Structure 1
Amino acid sequence: LPNPDLFVFMYVRREATLSSQIEGMQASLMDLLEYEAEAAQPERPLDVEEIANYVAAMNLGLRRLEELPVSLRLVREIHGRLLRDVRGSERTPGDFRRSQNWIGPPGSTLANATFVPPPVEEMRGSLGQWERFLHDDEPMPTLIKVGVAHAQFETIHPFLDGNGRVGRLLIPYLSLFSED
């Protein structure tokens, strides 16, 4: 590659856009680039700030991984950055949930949810087991470990909002900074 930094710059933004679109956001990569260049038009999608926060959370995580391993502390930090000053910012950014959550179509309840993550008490124990798994010395191919860790994180669903995006942020962190 003639300029790997430019590739990484664009890759992170493309990943942020696609990951956010999974969550229903409408902003495009071009919207994000215009926003970052401060050339954004007034009619731009409002959720471009959320995509910009994803980029900032990715970069925060990469910087922090120079000092500490993938950990619950890091997960809380990137979650806090991801939800700063955007939709969901009232949902305790950077803090693990203290109430039951569930996944389902709009209007669903705990009783008819598609998926119900573990209750708060079990969630705490599950997070501890998840973190121990990340640093377990048992040999395992990186791709398998990353896949299992991602699936476990999404199943635990430790935040009131932003779990999918945080889980997708963890994939490159775990891949790049695996201990094997």
Structure 2
Amino acid sequence: MLPALPPVARLETAVVLKSVVEARAALAALDQAARRMSNPAVLLNSIPILEAQASSEIENIVTTTDDLFRFADTDSDLASPETKETLRYRAALFAGLHSIQTRPLSATTAIDICSTIHRRDMDVRTLPGTIIANPATRRAIYTPPSGAAVIREKLANWADFLHDPDDLDPLVKMAVAHYQFEAIHPFTDGNGRTGRILNILVLVANELLQEPILYLSRYIIAHKEEYYRLLLDVTREAAWEPWVLYMLDAVRGTARATLAKIDAIQVLQAKVRDEIRTTSAGSNSDFLDVLFEQPYCRISNVVARCKVSRPTATKWLHELVVAGVLEDHKVGRERLFINREFFEVLVRDDPDDL
């Protein structure tokens, strides 16, 4: 039987509190850097896509970053089913953010998120959950709760824990709540992805981040075996401290990595701004913005954003192709202009942070 929250064990040990301080400092630095950006859409349009890709990959839904950015703002039949499903993760994240602006995070939030991911109405399981077994002995290690009424009761307890005005740090609460949600396993599918979106919502709801710019699933991908091992250790041994420390390390590492991306993006923006000034676009700031809101740019994007004619937009983009700033690709009837250096900054991993 899955115990109710809060856990009996002491959660905020000395080593956990030390890690909390470091993780919160990294988050604060990231949040401040993001607030200073002249165009927040640069991060809001890219980090959630990377998070969606990594979180989906954990569930063996694999697509390329190239395809995700290419089809991010289109409903093209050319996109693979995996690409479309991964982009629904991003849609679910933003739907969750919109939801918590008007009502507290709850089981309903989780149901709505899971429904968006699957593009159909989801509800809590009525069937037994997947039994987790030892791969060698095939004996059951953990069986999730069964029965819709029991699952709803567990989710209500999970939500109460999140909103309990106790002295637990929100980062510790996030770690504990993530374990509990995955242990409840409320849906027939999509529990992992829904749970990872809920992590980001907890941070935003507690004002540790203003926007969903933490690429948390990146850390889990890099430490996937440890992630599942520590989840099971909580189940079998109530080993809360190693699990909480893992999640705090994930927050700290990905916050620092994202901060490094912001620094690299700003250096590249300055470089491209200088290149634009040598073209007929001059010092058009909207043109610079549109080149960094997505690494893939269409002529129609420049026309709409910069309020210029199609021939003018085409000329501006072509001049940057000649200057080596952009790459010009013809895909079907469409021309795509790729800000390759920006793309490389976004997808580059820094192992020192992981």
Q: TM-score, normalised by structure 1?
A: 0.83
Q: Is the 8 A contact 2:62 2:82 kept in 1?
A: yes
Kindly state the Cα deviation for residue 40 of structure 1 after the two structures are TM-superposed: 6.1
Residue from 179, 188, 207 that aligns with 1:160: 188
For 1:103-135, what per-residue CA distance to the aligned partner results, in whole angstroms no more than 9, with x for missing partners?
558xx9xx8555321122432321121111111
Larger Rg: 2
Residue from 103, 110, 115 that aligns with 1:80: 115
More strand by share: 2
- Amino acid aligned to 2:40: P
Distance 2:166 2:107 in 1: 20
Please list every run of 5 or more consecutive structure 1 residues that lacks an aligned counterpart in the other structure: none
| Match of residue 50 from structure 1 | 85
Kindly state the Cα deviation for residue 49 of structure 1 after the two structures are TM-superposed: 0.9
Please list every run of 5 or more consecutive structure 2 residues that lacks an aligned counterpart in the other structure: 1-36, 209-354
Moved over 6 A (4+): none
**Residues 1:48 and 1:76: Cα distance change in structure 2 (over 3 Å):** same
- Amino acid aligned to 1:165: R
Q: Is the 8 A contact 1:104 1:115 kept in 2?
A: yes
| Match of residue 127 from structure 1 | 155
Tell me if 1:27 matches 2:63: yes
Q: Is the 8 A contact 2:124 2:186 kept in 1?
A: yes
| Match of residue 102 from structure 1 | 130
Distance 2:188 2:73 in 1: 32
Q: Is the 8 A contact 1:135 1:179 kept in 2?
A: no
Distance 1:154 1:48 in 2: 24
**Residues 1:39 and 1:55: Cα distance change in structure 2 (over 3 Å):** closer
Root mean square deviation of aligned Cα: 2.4
Identity value in percent: 32
Q: Is the 8 A contact 1:54 1:82 kept in 2?
A: yes
Q: TM-score, normalised by structure 2?
A: 0.44
Deviates more, 1:31-40 or 1:148-157: 31-40
- Amino acid aligned to 2:50: R
**Residues 1:40 and 1:113: Cα distance change in structure 2 (over 3 Å):** farther
Q: How many residues align?
A: 168
Q: Is the 8 A contact 2:124 2:151 kept in 1?
A: no
More helix by share: 2
Q: Is the 8 A contact 2:97 2:201 kept in 1?
A: yes
**Residues 1:40 and 1:103: Cα distance change in structure 2 (over 3 Å):** farther
Deviates more, 1:161-170 or 1:68-77: 68-77
Distance 1:34 1:69 in 2: 34
Distance 2:43 2:181 in 1: 29
| Match of residue 143 from structure 2 | 116
